[in-house]
Amino acid sequence: MFDLNAKKGFICDMDGVIYHGNQILPGVPEFIDWLYREKKEFLFLTNNSGYTPKELQQKLARMGLDVSEDHFYTSALATAAFLKEQAPGCSVYAIGEAGLLNALYDAGITMNDVNPDYVVIGEGKAYSLDTLTKATNLVIKGAKLIGANSDLSGPIENGIAPACRALVAPIEMATGKQAYFCGKPNPLMMRTGLRLLKCHSAEAVMVGDRMDTDVISGLECGMSTILVLSGVSTKDTLDTYAYRPTMVLDGVGDIVREAEHQSKLG
C-alpha cells in the first residue's frame, strides 16, 4: 500500500480506464476533479495510435470532461519521436489513422510506398489484405518493421477489437522479421511521460487496466502501479502473471475514495 495523497503525478491509460468506445466509465469525472483539486500533475498515456491529442481532447469534451490537449501522449507520438531520433528525415510506408500519420508528418518523416526505410503499423480502418501485402513485400525488400504498440486487443463497447500487435503478426509471420514496438511497455515511452509530467518515477503512479502493458511499464520504471478492473483485466488475470500491481481497484473513482480515506486516517 502507498499514500496516494503523497504522490505528485499520475500517468493514466485511457481505453478501459477512462472510457469504453464512446462511453465514459463510472467515477471518471470525480477522478479528474480530484486531480485538479489536489493539484496533481497528470498525463493520459494511450497505446491507441489512431487519435491525435486534439482528437482525444475533443472526445473527452464530448463526454463532458474538460482536459487540455497537453495532457495527452500517444504511442503514435512515441513512434514518431523514436524514428526522428533514429533516422531523421527517413521515409515510411504507414498503415494507420490520423493520429499516426500526423505524428509522423510533424516529425519531418515522409510517406513512401516504393522504397521506404520503415514500414510502420498502427491501428486503423486502412488495414486490408492489399495494404498488408504491400507492407509484407516492402519488409522483404529491406524496410524495417515498426509497430506503434504491442497491444494484442483493445476493449470496445461490445467486446474487443484486434489491436496493433495482432495486426503486425501476419507481416512478421510472412517475412520472418520481428517488429520493434514503440508504445507501452517500451521504457522510452514511459520515460517521455515522466519527463512531460516533470516528475520522478518514485513520485508517480501508473494507472491502467492491463498487466502486460500498463502495470509492467510502471513497475519497470520504478513507479507505484494501480490495476483497475474496468477494462480487460479481472481478478483472475492477476494469477497469470509473476508480478503484482501495488493496488487493485474496480475503477478510477476508487482512487478518490481511497485517497480521502487515507487522509482521514491521517
Rg (CA), the chain: 19
Active-site residue, from 13, 117, 209, 212 = 13
Whether the bond between 185 and the residue before it is cis, its omega within 30 degrees of 0, is yes
Q: How many CB atoms lie within 10 A of CB 220?
A: 14
Instruction: Please say whether the beta carbons of 143 and 136 come within 8 A.
Output: no
Q: What are the strands of the beta sheet with 91-95, ordered from one edge?
A: 110-111, 91-95, 118-121, 144-147, 180-181
- Is 13 tagged catalytic? yes
Q: Which of 15, 117, 151, 212 is catalytic?
A: 15
Q: Which residue has the cell 510506398?
A: 113
**Residue 130 appears among annotated catalytic residues:** no
What would the grid cell of residue 19 be? 472510457
Active site residues: 13, 15
